[in-house]
Amino acid sequence: MSLLRSWRRRRLLARESIPDSIWAEVVAGLPTLDRLEGSARERLREQTLVFIREKTLVPAGGLALTEAMRVRIAALACLPVLELGLDCYDDVLSVVVYPDEFIVPDRETVDEAGVVHVGDDVLSGEAWEQGPVVLSWKDVEASGLGEGFNVVAHEFAHKLDLLDGVFDGMPPLHREMRTGAWITAFQSAYDDLVRRLERGQETWLDPYAAEEPAEFFAVCTELFFDVPAEFRAEYPAVYAQLAAFFRQDPAQGD
């Protein structure tokens, strides 16, 4: 981290903090934060403030973005990088927030036969390569409730995945991690999901995770933070890799 940046952050945190009433309201609305101990929660509060000051949160589609809404978005975005640091999100200069699911018109997709289709996509979130994260507020409100859904963790997981420039479901791993162990854990879980879906079986994971490995990683990140104990029970090897990557063990004690 550059000296200037760390000095700026220290100065910000010395002078300012998220108002108690707003922080209390946001924490009360995010059961996913319950497991954080006091000191971790305080660090999250600081990171959340830095996030709000360093990134631009842009309301779109007529949305009025209150301070509590900004804090909720920032806290959900900061949770995955609590032990990694905000610099992981250097690429995210802004977060655009729509009131509800938004339509991306004329999206080009290429199917398995190589045919290009153009159509409108309805999305609850989107992460652009070298660009903003786009979110639907309605989906942000449904995130972090301990119900297995977290659009903010999902989109920011895509950003972490893209840190090495490749959208493949594998972010740059820490030195102490083993690439082979990551690939084995994710590949077998992904292949198993695809197989079950091909057989028409009900799956614990959202079938969307089978779209491609990058979506699998993003969906697993949502569950890792939102329903960690259930996720660990279903996917112990993937859980272990995510715990090593995020340097958090959210199911601990469950």
Tell the smallest beta-carbon distance from residue 218 to Zn ion (Å). 4
Tell the smallest beta-carbon distance from residue 34 to Zn ion (Å). 26
State which amino acid sits at residue 74: A
Nearer to Zn ion, 100 or 121 (CB): 121
Q: Please state whether 132 falls in left (phi above 0), alpha (psi between -120 and 50) or beta.
A: beta
Q: Please state whether 146 falls in left (phi above 0), alpha (psi between -120 and 50) or beta.
A: left
- Please state, in angstroms and rounded to a whole number, the distance separating the CA atoms of residues 205 and 188: 14
Q: Which of 176, 144, 165 is nearest to 72 (CA)?
A: 144
Residue with tokens 């934060």: 33
User: What residue is closest to Zn ion based on CB?
Assistant: 218
Tell the smallest beta-carbon distance from residue 219 to Zn ion (Å). 8
Tell the smallest beta-carbon distance from residue 194 to Zn ion (Å). 17
Binding site residues, Zn ion, CB under 5 A: 215, 218
Nearer to Zn ion, 50 or 227 (CB): 227
- C-beta of residue 96 within 8 angstroms of C-beta of residue 132: yes
- Cβ atoms < 10 Å from Cβ of 249: 17
Nearer to Zn ion, 70 or 154 (CB): 154
Q: Which of 177, 209, 175 is nearest to 193 (CA)?
A: 209
Nearer to Zn ion, 44 or 152 (CB): 152
Nearer to Zn ion, 133 or 251 (CB): 133
